[in-house]
Amino acid sequence: MSKRALQMNRRRERILDAARKVISEQGYEHLTMRALAEASGVTVPTIYNRIGNKDAVLEATIRDGTTRFFGDVATGDGPIAILEKNVAELLRQAAYYRPLLRVLLQGGASEVMREVDALYLRHLRDSLEAMAERGELEPWVNCRILAERLLSNLYGAATEWATGLLGDETLPAVASYDANITLAGVATEKSRQRFQSRAQQLQEGPIEGERARRSERKRGSLTGRS
């Protein structure tokens, strides 16, 4: 790579890092081109030339984060390991991902999210097909459909977290519980017990605790209105 190309890549990375910083500290609504230029130490025209407008910047941060995430996913990782690593990444940069997820819930970056979904589904499907080859899934299971359900469950938990219904300490348990209980329903006897045992541990621990906290919040809300 030439020196010029290296400098351009570093400048692009600096812009994306600055975009994540602005979103984390101020929210997506404050990610203006002027604010981004100040935070990244470049001019507004440079941002347009290197990446594009605000929507393009958002899409670039999502692509960049997804590429980095899957660069750390090992080939032999099972579906639950992939989902749990995703949750760990959400919590590692919670200040950034919470407002980002709220933007996505409103329909932002829909095109790039289709790309992200396709990438996640491919990795999940590959890991499920490896399980099937090892005899860990019932032969009737459609790995593509199962991957879609696992990803949908993860998005559901992440949405509850982004909107404040789940706390940082509860998100990993809820996401893992959903995945384990789903796989327990389609696993062969060879591996079913593993998923059932983990789901039961989570159900009797953090999941039950979260249910109790929600009931308490609901009672407090009703009492406050009375």
The more confident residue out of 189 and 74 is 189
Query: What CATH number has the domain bearing residue 31?
Result: 1.10.10.60
Q: Which domain holds residue 165?
A: 72-225
Q: Is 90 left (phi over 0), alpha (psi -120 to 50) or beta?
A: alpha
Whether pLDDT at 135 is above 90 = yes
Residue 66 lies in a domain: no
The more confident residue out of 114 and 222 is 114
Q: Is 44 left (phi over 0), alpha (psi -120 to 50) or beta?
A: alpha
Mean pLDDT throughout 20-36? Answer: 94
| Same domain, yes or no: 56 and 85 | no
| Same domain, yes or no: 15 and 124 | no
Whether pLDDT at 77 is above 70 = yes
| Same domain, yes or no: 100 and 1 | no
Whether pLDDT at 23 is above 50 = yes
| Same domain, yes or no: 4 and 86 | no
| Same domain, yes or no: 87 and 195 | yes
Residue 67 lies in a domain: no
Residue 176 lies in a domain: yes
| Same domain, yes or no: 1 and 50 | yes
Band (148; pLDDT cuts 50, 70, 90) = very high
Whether pLDDT at 1 is above 70 = no
For residue 226, the model assigns a pLDDT of: 44
Q: What pTM did the predictor assign?
A: 0.86
| Same domain, yes or no: 22 and 78 | no
| Same domain, yes or no: 32 and 91 | no
SS (H, E, C) 128-167: HHHHHHCCCECCCCCHHHHHHHHHHHHHHHHHHHHCCCCC
Whether pLDDT at 184 is above 70 = yes
